[in-house]
């Protein structure tokens, strides 16, 4: 590589390094208020989603228990024979 190209490449890399090390200005009060409002909105949405999930889970559990009770009353009496326990000759 030519010496001129090496110098140009190193200057270019140093310039990129300085740009990446630059700091952003501190957020303004308006930016902080906007971020706080967005966080509150997200928290509210998450809370609502959790409540909806809990309600759905409660409905599913109630239906399962109701079906289980309904089946318990309609099961046939046990015959005393376990499936697969018959002797084969």
Ranges of H-type helices in 1-89: 3-20, 29-73
Q: What is the pLDDT of residues 34-56, one digit of tens each?
A: 999 999 999 999 999 999 999 99
CA distance 85 to 35: 69
Q: What is the pLDDT of residues 3-27, one digit of tens each?
A: 777 787 777 777 766 666 668 889 9
**Left, alpha or beta for 46 (phi > 0: left; psi -120 to 50: alpha)?**
alpha
């Amino acid at each position: 590589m030519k010496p001129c190209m090496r110098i140009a490449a190193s200057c270019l890399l140093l310039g990129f390094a300085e740009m990446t090390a630059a700091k952003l200005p501190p957020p303004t009060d308006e930016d902080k208020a906007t971020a706080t409002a967005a966080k509150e909105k997200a928290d509210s949405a998450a809370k609502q989603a959790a409540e909806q999930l809990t309600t759905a889970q409660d409905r599913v559990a109630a239906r399962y228990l109701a079906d289980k009770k309904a089946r318990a009353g309609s099961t046939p009496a046990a015959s005393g024979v376990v499936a697969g326990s018959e002797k084969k000759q």
